[in-house]
Amino acid sequence: MTDSIQIQLRKGALDLCVLAVLSRGENYGYEIASTLVSAVGMGEGTIYPLMRRMQNEGLVATRLVESSSGPPRKYYRLTPLGRTVFEAYRSDWRTFAAAVDKLLEDV
């Protein structure tokens, strides 16, 4: 049962995690995926559909950069809307996490 809870928590926090990574600066897809794999154990395959959705929603913008070691890399960065959404999500997360922590303290 623990695995199921962990999967649901990761799914619920994935948007926030990606926005947090991009709030620190521009990154390419594999770099974002690697950061999330090491930080929260999120699978690499879930990142690219999410990035496409975020681009369609206007949260991230992209640019292609030629690479000397293979195909061009697509770099992602937050748009002004993406930064606004990140700040709102971060505030909501902190409020929610504090409420859950409070409930857990009382047990």
Euclidean distance between the first and final Cα of the chain, in Å?
20
Residues facing residue 97 across a β-bridge: none
pLDDT < 70: residue spans in the chain: 1-2
For residues 74 and 81, give the distance between their C-alpha atoms in angstroms, rounded to a whole number.
Answer: 20
Structural tokens at position 31: 């770099």
Q: Look at residue 84 in the predicted model and tell me its pLDDT.
A: 97
pTM of the predicted model, to two decimals?
Answer: 0.86
Sign of the C-alpha dihedral computed for residues 83, 86, 92 and 94 taken in this order: negative
Q: What's the token pair of residue 13?
A: 């926090």
Amino acid at 82: G
